[in-house]
Amino acid sequence: MIISKKTMLKVIFTCLLCILLFTSAYAEKTIKVMLYGDSLMAGYGLAQNENLASELSRSFEADNLEVSIINASISGNTSKNGLSRVEWSLGDNPEIVVICLGANDMLRGLNPALTSENLDSIISKFKKSGTVVILAGMQSSESMGPDYQAQFDGMYPKLAVKHNLIFMPFLLKDVALEKDKLQADYKHPNDKGIKIIASNLFPYLLEGIARLGK
């Protein structure tokens, strides 16, 4: 069968267009997820391949999802520290952010009302940029007293409702107070604890991806 030059050019053009569309679609599949917290998500005391970002990356790879994890968590950060660096962090253009701040505020006995205000501003800034926000809550130590505990623990669900967020009630579920899941300081998760946190967080991240419509 003889194919005309015009037909051949049309075929080549169509193939090139298909390749271009396929390449673009593949690139669009990569989703940027930012972890925005303190030492609990930064990986304090852990090897690089044992931290939360690495564990989540492995979970996404197992599910054949193209996700890039940006670990923007800094050990020792309070909610005020987190608020001060939002604009800089937005430069990474995350599509999804997991916010978990407040633990260091609690350990310093800071007023939960101020922590809530800082978190509210952080959430608002990320939402304004079009980022899907997942809020991971923390819980106060009983040693802070019942009034403080009620205020601190209660601010996370209130913020989640106010901003219509995907809400993970407690980042350290099944890890807090479990000595075999914690490092020697009994505060930070060890490699076993991180695996549990990643497993618990993963469904919320899938919900975040679903919200992106990708």
Q: What is the pLDDT of residues 173-192, one digit of tens each?
A: 999 999 999 999 999 999 99
* Range scoring the smallest mean pLDDT among 12-26, 62-76, 88-102, 108-122: 12-26
Could you tell me the two tokens for 74?
A: 């800094």
pLDDT at 26 over 90: no
pLDDT range class, residue 62, cuts 50, 70, 90: very high
What does DSSP assign to residue 142?
A: G
Domains of the chain by residue range: 29-212
- Rounded CA-CA distance 199/122 in Å is 25
Q: pTM of this prediction?
A: 0.85
| Cα-based distances in Å from 88 to 50, 83, 102, 200 | 26, 10, 20, 28
Could you tell me the two tokens for 108?
A: 């310093």
- Rounded CA-CA distance 90/41 in Å is 18
Any idea what the Cα angle at residue 59 is, between residues 35 and 201, rounded to 5°? Answer: 50
For residues 5 and 168, the model is more confident at 168
- Rounded CA-CA distance 31/185 in Å is 35
* Range scoring the smallest mean pLDDT among 25-29, 51-55, 189-193: 25-29
pLDDT range class, residue 28, cuts 50, 70, 90: low
Tell me the mean pLDDT in the region 81-107.
Answer: 97
The set of catalytic residues is 39, 185, 188
CB distance 97 to 132 below 8 Å: yes
pLDDT at 23 over 50: no
pLDDT at 204 over 60: yes
Q: Where does 29-212 sit in CATH, by number?
A: 3.40.50.1110
- pLDDT for 213 equals 79
Strand residues in the chain grouped as ranges (E): 31-37, 67-71, 96-100, 132-136, 166-168
Quote the percentage of the chain above a pLDDT of 70.
86
The 3-state DSSP class for residue 164 equals coil
pLDDT per residue as tens digits for the range 166-175: 999 999 999 9
Tell me the mean pLDDT in the region 10-27.
Answer: 43
- Rounded CA-CA distance 194/199 in Å is 8
- pLDDT for 69 equals 97
